[in-house]
Amino acid sequence: MGTRISIATLTGALVFSWGYGWFAVSQLKHIWRENRKLIQIMEVDFARTQTLLNEEIGGLTFERDTLQEALLNEQDKNERLSQRNEDLTGRVDVLTKLTEIDEELLQKYSNVYFLNENYMPEKFAAIPENYVHRDSQKEDQSPLEVHAEVLPFLQNLLRIAEDGGISLRIFSAFRSFEEQLELKSKYTVFYGSGANTFSADQGYSEHQLGTTVDFTTTALRNDFERINKTEAYQWLLDNAHRFGFTLSYPEGNAYYVFEPWHWRFVGVGLATKLYNENMYFYEMGQREINEYLISIFD
């Protein structure tokens, strides 16, 4: 009797367990189906969200690219404007500089253009006495002067020459209109019309510009006309352009006799061009010469 109860009880328990298990499995299947639906909904929502995000990102990327392009265009425009401003500023600086530079400094004067009798360099500077040759026969021992902007170039030339064993000296520099008239009158008395071959009339002398000097040496002294026979002359031919000086009247020129002592400051740029092309100042056209005016003292 007890054994039957136990079997019945066990059987009931088994049936209950089987029923509960079936119910649990059914519930799990239901939950799985519900979860599957939820996952599908979430997948759809995710796909939609991803599509929206991609569209948003695409829009933002396009906006970014558009802004970047606009920024680059603006930067390019600013660079062009900046360059234009620099160009305009440069032009203004050039024009300003040109108005401040004496336009007479690179004009041709020897039998070509006339220099006003009232013309004088705007500022003078005295050549140091240790570089000046004094003629003991002359009473006038006033300082020899040149254009103030020329003096540093001239001093460098004289110093470098002396460092190389070349003792150059200056015996003539600036001469006013009146001084040139007096000098030409003296030459005319002694040489007659022949004076025109080696001495400029007043108003046509490069010396009035204050940028021209006459060289001699400590050995030649007053015998400066023979300077072309010296090592000093060859040194000037080889080096004067480095300091902005050029020989005005070389052999065979169409203006005056050969004057190896007479050198004019025209600026390093122009003097170097003349040297490199084996030309002399009066062979070059005035328009081309004028291009060097702005840099004459650079």
Average confidence (pLDDT) over 174-186: 72
Q: Looking at the structure, do residues 25 and 161 belong to the same domain, yes or no?
A: no
* Radius of gyration of the chain, Cα coordinates, nearest whole angstrom: 49
Q: Looking at the structure, do residues 123 and 201 belong to the same domain, yes or no?
A: yes
Spatial separation of the C-alpha atoms in residues 23 and 131, rounded to whole Å: 126
Q: Looking at the structure, do residues 147 and 30 belong to the same domain, yes or no?
A: no
Mean pLDDT of the chain: 83
How does pLDDT run across 205-244, given as a tens digit for each residue?
899 999 999 999 999 999 999 999 999 999 999 999 999 9
How does pLDDT run across 20-49, given as a tens digit for each residue?
767 777 777 778 888 888 888 888 888 888
- Tell me which of 100, 132, 148 is where a domain ends: 100
Q: Looking at the structure, do residues 7 and 109 belong to the same domain, yes or no?
A: no
Q: Looking at the structure, do residues 10 and 88 belong to the same domain, yes or no?
A: yes
Say what the pLDDT of residue 200 is: 53
How many domains does the chain fold into? 2
Say what the pLDDT of residue 32 is: 80
Q: Looking at the structure, do residues 168 and 212 belong to the same domain, yes or no?
A: yes
123: DSSP letter: S
Give the lowest-confidence range in 88-92, 225-229, 280-284. 88-92
- Tell me which of 84, 100, 116 is where a domain ends: 100
pTM of the model: 0.67
Say what the pLDDT of residue 99 is: 60
The stretches of 101-118 forming alpha helices (DSSP H) are none
Spatial separation of the C-alpha atoms in residues 245 and 270, rounded to whole Å: 9
Among all chains, which residue has been given the structure tokens 């003096």?
Answer: 151
Range of the domain at 197: 104-295
| Of residues 82 and 258, more confidently modeled | 258
Say what the pLDDT of residue 41 is: 85
The 3 state secondary structure assigned to 182-198 is: HHHHHHHHHHHHHHHHC
Q: Looking at the structure, do residues 62 and 187 belong to the same domain, yes or no?
A: no
CATH number at residue 114: 3.30.1380.10
Q: Looking at the structure, do residues 154 and 256 belong to the same domain, yes or no?
A: yes
Q: Looking at the structure, do residues 214 and 95 belong to the same domain, yes or no?
A: no
Q: Which amino acid is at 233?
A: Y
Q: What are phi and psi of 149, to 5 degrees?
A: -75, -20
Determine the angle formed by the axes of helices 231-239 and 151-163, rounding to 10 degrees.
130
